[in-house]
Every structure is written in C-alpha cells, then in structure tokens.
Structure 1
C-alpha cells in the first residue's frame, strides 16, 4: 500500500477517520493525502462530513490549506519517528467529485472516510455520495465509524457472495491480514432460498480461496434471512476488527441494507467497513 487518501471537514467524526488513516499509514509506511472540498451541494448529506453550501475565495482556500498543514503537523507529533509522507489538497469540486478526483490522480490504494452511527452507515452505503465515490474512483473505501478507534487488526470478516466472488477480490484483504498477522474469516450468510447448505458453502469456499497464499483463514456460514443482521451477528460473536464486502453493483448494497434498522445495527458503528470494487 503506497497512498491513502482521507477527506476531512475538520469535524470530530471526520478527524477520527484521519487519525485512523494516519495510524494505518504508519503501519504500512504509506503516503497520506488529506483532502478538503470547499464546496458541498445542498440536500446531499455526506456521512461523516458536514453539509453546507459554500462558494470559496482564494483566501478561504488558503485558510483551509493552512488547517490541513496544521493537521499534518499534529499527526506527525503523534508519531515523531514515522516515515509517513504527508500531502494536502484543497479543491472546489463537490465533495464526492473532489475525493474521486484526488484518489484517481494520486493513484490511491485506499480511501478512508468517516461515518456517524447506524443511520450513517446505511446512508453511506445507499446514498449517492459514497456510492458515487466507489463508482467514480473504483478505489477501495474504508468506512470508519464515529466511535471506532485504531487498534491492530486481529480478525477480519470477509463477507462473500459465493455465487459471484473471485479470489482476485481479496488481494487487499490478504495484504492487510499479512501486515497485522490477522485471521480472515470468510462468511457466507445462508437464507432459506439459498441453494447452498452450510457444508456445500464451506466446500465451495475451500475450493475457491485455497490458493490465496495466506494460511490464517477459516470458512463459516451464518443462517439468517437478513444478510445485514447475519453479518453483524457473526461479527459481534467473533469480535471482528474489520468487515470486508465487495461492491459488485449498487443493487447488491441495496439487497444487504434495504431492510429496516435492527438493534444490532448499532454494533456496526464500532466496526470499520472496507468496501472493495470488483
């Protein structure tokens, strides 16, 4: 991992994601690019980034540039011996366009963003903003919940759709697992209409992912009519540090998060979610 892009509006939620991104950059020795957009359209709520309409002047752009530089200096103080190289970008585009633009021009390996609470998670998956970032940039996106704090990643859940998943989709997951020495639990949620049984799903897993070049893996199924709830239940029971999902298309996200909120959803506010484009 060479470059991480992280947007911020300097709010507590967004800056929590910045701290997380900084710790991850320190671990991977990646370059960290902090981004701020001076323009956010009305009526387009952005999870983790506050909403306001703004037109920027040169003076305002310089002010935000100074704030980003100061933020970088604070991050350096947290890790004085760090080899992380910092860069800052202030743009005038709508926030999703600016993030995608910077991620693409910087050839980012990862985008890290904040989100607020259970409602925020549903919005960040279904709403046009983050979905647009995924589609436009086609870069992996790490969503950091407001209450999450960085800790060494010991357990990763890779929530897979066995009818579609390909081993190439898990390269970043294996990279992170190798870096932290983490265990990867491959999870398939079984519903009543699923053609697979728990046994056949595990066999399919072992055939499909046996050649990924990483040994600390296990294969699991969770029976639940609600995919979201099944993932969260498994994550809570097995103390996940990171949940990984592949964004095949917008309809997949809708099928996962289209149901009404459940009380388990609140748990998801403490687990970062990594969305990978196929």
Structure 2
C-alpha cells in the first residue's frame, strides 16, 4: 500500500492536485494523508488576556482547519468513490515544510502531491514559494501539479538527465507509474559537443537496464540550453509528465533555483515529478 501526502490550503489549486492523485492511483491501494497547517501569528489584543469564556485564536484557527479538511474529504469521496483508497486528516499548528518533513518520516510517505501555479517573479520562474521550498527540502519524491491541469494518464514521460550522480533507488516511483500506465520514458541528454565520460556512459547503460522492461528511448540534443531543449521537446512531442532527479550541484538546481530572466520562461505545463538523489535522514 502506498502512503501519499496531500498538503492543502483549501484552494481549488490544492484540490486539483488531490484530484490528480486519486485518479493517478485509482487502481492501487493507498492511504492519502490530507494535511493542513496553520500558524496564527497575529494576535488581537483581546486574546492576549486569557478569558475562559472565549476560544483562543489558535483554537479558532484549529477549528477552521479541521472543518476545511472535512469539506475536502467529503468532496473527494463524493466525486471519486474508491474502496481501495483510505484517508487520514492531519491538522497541525506548524509551518508547512516543517510538518511535511515530520510526516514523511513518521508515516513513511512514498510521494507528496501538491498543487502549484506559475510564479511571475524572476526567482520563482516555475512555482510559488511553498512548492519551491518543498522541492528543495523533499525527502521523498514530490509531484507538482500545475493549476487547472486536467488529469490524463501519464503515457509519455520526459526524463532529462545529465548522467551525473548515481541512479537513485527512489527512481522506482517513476518505474511504477510507467508500468501501471504502460508509459514510454523519453530520456533526454543535452550536451555541447563533448562525448560522455566513462562514468556517464556507465550510468546511461544502467538506466537502460533499469528500464529494460519498459518502453524507453534515448535522445541526445546538442548545442541547446537545458531549458530550451526541454521546452522544444515538449512542443514537438505529446508529454504527460516531466521527471527530474534533484542531484546537488547538477543542472537541475540551476534550472529550478537560479533566476533565468533571459531564458524562455520555463513554465511547467504538465505534472512535474521531482526525485531526490537519495532519501535524506
């Protein structure tokens, strides 16, 4: 059984991500953990003096959080009846990313699925603040769902890689998704007139072995930036999911976390699966 974490702020964007998750795993037994965090940091003067006749501001936020989670759960169950799916609600007075870190460890979470929408600031070309921080700190695979994205099975998965770093064991989540949906994996390597090193060639061979039971193709793109190569590939091919490994010091970090004002506005229009290079403690 898979354990899936679904953070929610009760927005349509967050619900859209939950919708995607329950449809993606419609044929699997899963426990979905619906998480909402609240941090009432601004206290009105009337709450500074304790009065047992009135709820505290924290209690008010807690009540709002629990009722919100109940509404989300009713909506999911009403629209997606599935006897294989189980749900737990978690309402926590904590910062979102701190709580996610604790839950991933405590509940042995296999995947985080959260909504996102394109940011306009140069430092957040891809996502909003919460999602960027979650990706940076994720200890398990994270699937970001663009706002308004309508579910479709991930039949075509794009996997850009620089063949640097060891192949993470956590890559199995992509293998499982590809197997469940009879997907084809498109492995994209961008280079600049330099042949693969022996280590890179070895990792490419290892990927071929890893995906031996799945339909997969290798592509070499020369003379383009990584963002341009990914953008052009998606324009020329029908892609349903983008997957990348978050290797420290790799092109991934430059792509995600460095301002790319002069780049093409690398907007992810399909679900984006980010896999940590290893499960961090």
Asked whether the two chains share a fold, i.e. TM above 0.5, the reply is yes
From the two aligned structures, give the one with the greater helix fraction.
1
Query: Which secondary structure state, in structure 2, belongs to the residue aligned with residue 32 of structure 1?
Result: strand
**Aligned ranges for residues 5-154 of structure 1 at < 5 Å?**
5-39=5-39, 57-117=58-118, 119=120, 123=124, 129-130=130-131, 132-134=133-135, 136-154=137-155
Name structure 2 gaps, 5 residues minimum: 43-55
Deviations 1:57-93 (A, max 9, x none): 1232122112212211111111224421011111111
Indicate conservation of the 8 Å contact 1:188/1:201, yes or no.
no
Deviates more, 1:110-119 or 1:29-38: 110-119
User: In terms of mean alpha carbon deviation, does 19-28 or 97-106 score higher?
Assistant: 19-28
Scaled by the length of structure 2, the TM-score of the pair is 0.80
In 2, the alpha carbon distance for the partners of 1:224 and 1:92 equals 49
Cα distance in 1 between the residues matched to 2:122 and 2:20: 17
Is the Cα–Cα contact under 8 Å of residues 183 and 214 in structure 2 kept in the other structure? no
Over the residues paired in the alignment, what is the CA RMSD in angstroms? 3.1
Which structure 1 segments of 5+ residues have no match?
43-54
Question: What is the CA–CA distance in structure 2 between the aligned matches of 1:63 and 1:159, rounded to whole Å?
Answer: 42
- C-alpha distance in structure 2 between counterparts of 1:264 and 1:274, whole Å: 19
Q: Could you tell me how far 1:236 is from its partner in structure 2?
A: 2.4
SS in 1 for 2:205: helix
Q: Distance in 2 between matches of 1:122 and 1:272?
A: 20
Query: Could you tell me which residue of structure 2 aligns to residue 158 of structure 1?
Result: 159
The 8 Å contact of residues 32 and 87 in structure 2, kept in 1 or not, is answered as yes
Cα distance in 1 for partners of 2:124, 2:165 equals 25
Pairs aligned (count): 261
Distance 1:2 1:81, change over 3 A: closer
Change (3 A) 1:248 1:121: farther
- Separation in 1 of the partners of 2:159 and 2:34? 28
